[in-house]
A and B are shown apart, each in its own frame.
Chain A
Amino acid sequence: MNIEQLISDLFYIKPEIAVAVTLVVIVVVDLIMGKNKKALPFISLVGLLIAGILVVQQFGTAKFVFKTSINSSLMAIDNFGSYFKIIVVVSSIFIVFFSLSSAEIKSTYARHGEYYSLIFGMILGMFFMVSAADLILIYLSMELLSLSSYVLAGFVKNSIRNSEASLKYVIYGGVSSGIMLFGISIIFGLTGSTNLYEINSLIQAQSFPSITLLLAGLFIIVGFGFKISAAPFHFWTPDVYEGAPIPITAFLSVASKAAGFAVLIRFIKVVFVDSVDVNGFWHLINVIDWKSIIILLSILTMTLGNFAALWQDNLKRMLAYSSIAHAGYMLLGVAVLSNEGIIAIMIYFIVYLFMNLGAFFVVMLVANEIGSEEIDDYKGLGRSIPLLGVALAIFLISLVGLPPTAGFIAKVALFIALIDANMIVVLVITILNTVVSVYYYIRILRNLYLVKVDEERPMLRINFLNKVFVLFLAVPLIVFGIYFTPIIDFAKYSLNILGL
C-alpha cells in the first residue's frame, strides 16, 4: 500500500473526516471562547449538516478502502452504510436540538464543550462502525462509541442517577466488549484474519471446528447484543436509560442502536452468507445456525420488552423496555435472512427515529416542567398540553403500529418479510406481542385524557420553538403513514451491502 492510495482512500471517508474536524473545532472553540458556550450547538449543527451532505454525496459509491492486503481492506463504503449514517446524522441533529431544551443538560452549561465533543466522539464511532469491514475496526469504533457514551450517561455529575447509570454502563460495556474481543481473537486464531470478507472465503473453503466457531460467534454477538440491547444482553438498558439524561437516552435508543444493527447485519451477511438467490433470500454457510439463534433472541427480546414494560411506572423506563421490544421486532428482519428483511429494518429505523425521539422529546419537555417522569404524574395532563398531548398520542400510536401512522407501515413491511419467508408462527407471536404492547402505550393516553383528576392542572408553558420541533417529528409520521413511497424507495435504493 502506498501513500497515494492512502490519500485517495481518505477521499472516501470525507464524512468521517468532517465529523472529526468538527470535534476538533468544538474543542478549540471551547478553549478560545472561554465561558461563552452559545456557539457550540451551532458549530455542531453545521458540522452535522456538512457531514450529512457528504454522506448524501457518497450514495452510489461502492468501494473497499484502506486495503491491508490484496483482498482485504478496513472499510467498505456502500449505500447500506450511508443509509445508517444518514440515520445517525439526522438523529444527532435532533439530539442537538434536544440538548438545547433539556433542563438537565442546561445545568451543565460550563461543560458544554465536553458535551458536544463527546457527542461527536459517539458519532465518529458510529460512522466507522457502520462501514467497518474488519473486526478490529469494528471493535475499535465500538469502543470509541462506548467510551464517549459512558461519560455522557453520567454527564450530570452531581446527579446520583446519572452516576450510577454511567458506572453500570461502563462495567457492563467493558465486560461485553472484552468478551467480544476474546471472540475476535478466537476467530483470528482459526482463520488468521480479521477481515470479514477474508473470513467468509476461508470458512467457505475449509471446515473449522464448529463448536469453536460457535463460541467465537456467540462471544461476538455478546458485543453486538449489548449495543442493540437484545435479550439476554439487554440488562443494562432499563437502568442506564432511566438514569441517563433524556437526550442521551434518546440518542442511545436510536443512533447507537442503528449503528449496532448495521454492524450486526453486515457481520452476518458478509461473514456467514455464501449466496443470495433470485428471491433475495440469503443462504448461510453451514457452520452456525444463525437463523434459529436470531429468531430465538428476537422472540425473547420482544416478549421480554413488552411484558416487562407492562409493569413500569417510570415513563422513561417504560420507553426503555419498549425500545427493547422494538429491537426484538427489528431483529426479526435479520432473522428472515433476506433482502426484504433488511429493507424492513431500514424502513423501521426511519420510522423508529421519528417516533421514539418524539416520545422522548415530549417526555423531556414535560419533565422539564413538572420535574417527573412517572406515568401517574401524567394524569389529567392532556388538557394542559394540548399540542404535546396530541403529538404524544401520534408517537405512541405509531409505536403500537396502527394506521394511518408510519409505525403501521414499518410493521407491515416487517410482516410482509415474515410472511414471504413463511414464518407464520413467528408472525403470530409478534402480533400477539403487538397487542400486548397496546396495553402499556394506551395506558399513557388514558392517564392523559381519560382519568379524571380533582384539581384542574395548570397549562404548561411550552416554548414555541419546541412546539414546532414536535411537529417536525410528528407530522412525518402521519405523512409517511399515508404516503410511504419515499421511505420504501429510499430503503430499497440503499439496500446494497458491499460484498458477494
Chain B
Amino acid sequence: MLHVGLTHFLVISIALFSLGLYAVVTRKNAVMVLMGIELILNSANINFIAFSKFGNFGLQGQLIALFVIVLAAAEAAVALAIVLNIYKTLANINVDEIDSLRD
C-alpha cells in the first residue's frame, strides 16, 4: 500500500505549475492561455492545502485556497470578457497575432 505523503502532493503541484506555464507560453488560443493561468493558480492551491495538512498549520491553507478559487473565478470572468471583446473587434483570439503594440 502506497503511502500518500507531502512529496506526492508537491510533485503534482509542481507538475501542474509547469504545465500551466507551458500552456501559457505555447498555446495560441487566448482561452487556452487563460486555462494555463488557472492551472498555475490551482497548483498553488494544492500547495496551500497540502502544507496545511501535513504541516499541522490548522485550516489556514484551506481557507486561503477558498479565497484563491473565488479570485480565480473573478479573474477568469474578467479575462474572458476581455477576450470576447477582442474577438468582437478583431475576430481573432490568437495571442501571438495580437502584436500591433510593439517597438
Contacts and interface: CB of A to CB of B under 8 A. Distances in A.
Interface of A: 136, 139-140, 143, 147, 150-151, 154, 157-158, 160-161, 163-168, 170-171, 174-175, 178-179, 181-182, 184-186, 188-189, 192-194, 238-240, 242-243, 308, 311-312, 317
Nearest to A242: B101
A-B pairs, top 10 by smallest CB distance, nearest first, are: A178-B40, A185-B47, A189-B51, A239-B101, A174-B37, A192-B57, A181-B44, A185-B44, A182-B44, A170-B79
Contact of A164 (B20, B86, B88): B86
A160 B43 contact: no
Contacts of B41: 178, 181
B57 to A, nearest CB: 4
B19 interface: no
Contacts of A193: 57
B48 A188 contact: yes
B26 interface: no
B90 A185 contact: no
Contacts of B12: none
Interface of B: 13, 17, 20-21, 24, 30, 33-34, 36-37, 40-41, 43-45, 47-48, 50-51, 55-57, 60-61, 64, 67-68, 71, 74-75, 78-79, 81-83, 85-86, 88-90, 95, 98, 100-103
Contact of B82 (A150, A179, A185): A150
Nearest to A68: B60
Most interface-central of B41, B44, B103 (chain A CB within 10 A)? B44
Most interface-central of A158, A174, A238, A312 (chain B CB within 10 A)? A174
Contacts of B45: 185
Contacts of A136: 64, 67
Contact of A194 (B60, B74, B90): B60
A242 B103 CA distance: 11
B102 A239 contact: yes
A161 B33 CA distance: 20
A243 B101 contact: yes
A311 B21 CA distance: 32
A167 B101 contact: no
Given A154-B85, A171-B37, A181-B41, A188 B101 contact: no
Contacts of B21: 175
A194 B89 contact: no
Given A163-B85, A167-B83, A170-B82, 7 more contacts: A167-B86, A175-B24, A175-B36, A181-B68, A182-B17, A184-B44, A188-B51
Nearest to A169: B82
Most interface-central of A147, A185, A193 (chain B CB within 10 A)? A185
A465 B5 CA distance: 67
B30 A311 contact: no
22 contacts: A139-B68, A140-B71, A143-B74, A160-B89, A161-B100, A167-B95, A167-B98, A171-B33, A174-B37, A175-B21, A175-B36, A178-B20, A178-B40, A179-B40, A181-B40, A181-B68, A182-B43, A188-B48, A193-B57, A240-B101, A243-B101, A308-B103
B101 A168 contact: yes
Contacts of B48: 185, 188
Contacts of A140: 67, 71
Contacts of B55: 189, 192
Contacts of B57: 188, 192-193
B82 A178 contact: no
Contacts of B79: 150, 170-171, 174
A151 B78 contact: yes
Contact of B89 (A163, A168, A184): A163
